[in-house]
Structure 1
Amino acid sequence: MKLRKIIYSAGALGLSMLMLSACSTTAKDSSSSSSSSAKSSQTVKKTQKPGKKIAGASLKDGTYKLVEDSYDHGYKVEMEMTVKNGKIKNTKYDQVNKDGKSKAKDSSYEKQMKKYAKIGPKEYISQINQEWASNASADNPGNLSAISGATNSSYTASNYAGQLTQAAQAGDTKTIHIANKAKYHDGTYKLEEKNYSHGYRQVYTLVIKDHKIDKLTYDQVDKNGKSKTKDAKYEKQMKKYAKVGPKEYIPKLMEEFAKSNGNMEKVQVVSGATESSNQFIAYVGQLLNAAQEGNARFIHVDNIVYKD
């Protein structure tokens, strides 16, 4: 996939970002996605919650499922999330073969992946499931962080978890199908956050031409449409804590995307802007899924926002 043109714009998340280390090791995962054990369903346990929710629709009760349509290296991702009384009670992330057997039970794959990535499905899938369940218990189910040696699997899980959360907000229990091996369909694909966090929300536009990425714009704007990169006060405040501001890390993310030719696995997390990087990767991943589906819809994300 040849990236023809990238428009540098701006965007970021608020200063409430998790100050995690920016470890974005390019995975040597021999598959485009990964899995957990078929019995890896996680019962959500109580954990520390963020501040009071100030924006974002509540989750509706039901069981929400997502599946990839095509097998990659013999496996495809399957995810499931159950909501009861408005709370996520169970989550499950797995990757199965045509016989329904989990990749975590594939000793040959385990050995091969550990040779290159120092980690196998038994370890990193368990971590993905544990983090998803932990985040869900805090009413913040999306934005899973990357696992060293299994970066692409982590990014895929974060993207898909976000899509399941959006389905639960809408109460749409229809299984989400990901056309993960399909070519991109020409068209303009847009994604925007509905709610403002620290005065800003993210907006994206992806243009596909001749089945290739032609243009991507990314910004975060206030209620007047002004870019966060022009907010000198925000830039100064963020640099005080993270050593990096929107003027630096947003162009860097776009540069990473351009270098990756649209391969989100290769987009490196920007040090000091880990959460913003993770959300960029997840949202662009969702737009690419929409392009594979060929549904040039306007994706409105009713993003959950918490008071500090």
Structure 2
Amino acid sequence: MRIKKFVYSASVLALSALMLTACSTTANKNSSKSSSSKPKTTQVQKKQKVGKQIAGAPLKDGTYKLQEDNYFNGYRVKMSMTVKNGKVCKTSYDNVNKAGKSKAKDTKYESQMKKYAKTGPKEYIPELQKAFAENGANSNGVQVVSGATSSTQTMKNYINQLVQASQAGKAGTIHINNNKKMKDGTYKLSEKNYDHGYRQVYTLIVKNGKVSNLKYDQINKDGKSKTKDANYEKQMKKIAKVGPKEYIPKLRSEFMKSKGNTEKVQVVSGATDSSNQFIAYVDQLINAAQKGDTKPITVNNIVYKQ
């Protein structure tokens, strides 16, 4: 994982909750033990309440695992999510070295990171473990941990991939070819279900191992962009003072200006959920490009009645 400065963002009312709800979960023993203290430098958002599910595939029972195949600064992410009776009942998250030791116990790394972010793995790993346990499959309920933005956003992306595996009943381990050069090709991701009349679509083009272009939009059943929906724009601005006409092109522009580095994509004030979903989906496309897997990704996103 990479150290980066915290991105400050204003939390606002979301017009929709696109991700799955979680049942009461219990983290692994290490998580339960280390989550007992609550550092002042970190925050965890409480489990979000959502309405009745009206679209999206249910979770299938089983244990789903994900791991990064490559080490960064001597560590890699390992996660798991167990589903029983269609609900998440157990989770685990950690950053481990080749000996299987948690980064949370690395005092030298802790000291070095605190020079940059004022928080280290001893604090943020237990908080992320706790957030995963409390929110389960609802990655949208995981709030960014101050000083560990990159780690938080990465975990949200990985939770999404675990959810997608659970919906498909693919109980094998998801392998992430992290920190590797992207392979040339066209990579697509789209949501299957419409929420408030719209779904998200992405196309990432990679040339010479670098991002060449990204197409991103939210479209209705007629293929019309949400940016052209004057009524939606007006309603959202009453709540958040920003609408899709502003935040959709802004998110794409920041990603392109950063040359494909989602760590530099600022969360748009007033469109926090949309920003976080954008980052998570683009990160998933980057993971696909690191493997060279050009098979289109269809996300059977969960939609709830408001």
Fold shared, TM-score > 0.5 on shorter chain: yes
Tell me the equivalent position of 1:68: 68
Matches within 5 A, 1:13-92: 15-16=15-16, 39-40=30-31, 49-92=49-92
Question: Displacement of 1:210 after TM fit?
Answer: 1.4
Give RMSD over aligned pairs.
2.2
CA 1:105–1:38: 2 relative to 1, 3 Å: farther
CA 1:80–1:229: 2 relative to 1, 3 Å: same
Question: Displacement of 1:127 after TM fit?
Answer: 1.8
> Residue 66 of structure 1 contacts residue 160 of structure 1 at CA under 8 Å; is this kept in 2?
yes
Any stretches of 5+ residues in structure 1 without a counterpart? 1-12, 19-35
Deviations 1:244-272 (A, max 9, x none): 00111112112221222111111110000
Question: Displacement of 1:140 after TM fit?
Answer: 2.7
SS state at 1:39 partner: helix
- Whole-angstrom distance in 2 between the partners of 1:125 and 1:232: 43
Tell me the equivalent position of 1:104: 104
CA 1:141–1:41: 2 relative to 1, 3 Å: farther
- Whole-angstrom distance in 2 between the partners of 1:41 and 1:177: 26
Count residues in correspondence. Answer: 275
SS state at 2:215 partner: strand
Identity %: 66
CA 1:145–1:262: 2 relative to 1, 3 Å: farther
Any stretches of 5+ residues in structure 2 without a counterpart? 1-12, 19-26, 36-45
SS state at 2:50 partner: coil
Question: Displacement of 1:49 after TM fit?
Answer: 3.2
Question: Displacement of 1:211 after TM fit?
Answer: 1.2
- Whole-angstrom distance in 1 between the partners of 2:299 and 2:289: 17
Q: 1:177 aligns with which of 171, 175, 178?
A: 175
> TM-score, structure 1 length as denominator?
0.85
SS state at 2:170 partner: coil
- Whole-angstrom distance in 2 between the partners of 1:50 and 1:142: 11
Letter in 2 for 1:40: S
Matches within 5 A, 1:1-308: 15-16=15-16, 39-40=30-31, 49-136=49-136, 140-142=138-140, 144-308=142-306
SS state at 1:168 partner: helix
Q: Which has the higher contact order (CA 8 A, sep 6+)?
A: 1
Question: Displacement of 1:75 after TM fit?
Answer: 0.2
Letter in 2 for 1:202: Q
Question: Displacement of 1:181 after TM fit?
Answer: 2.4
> TM-score, structure 2 length as denominator?
0.85
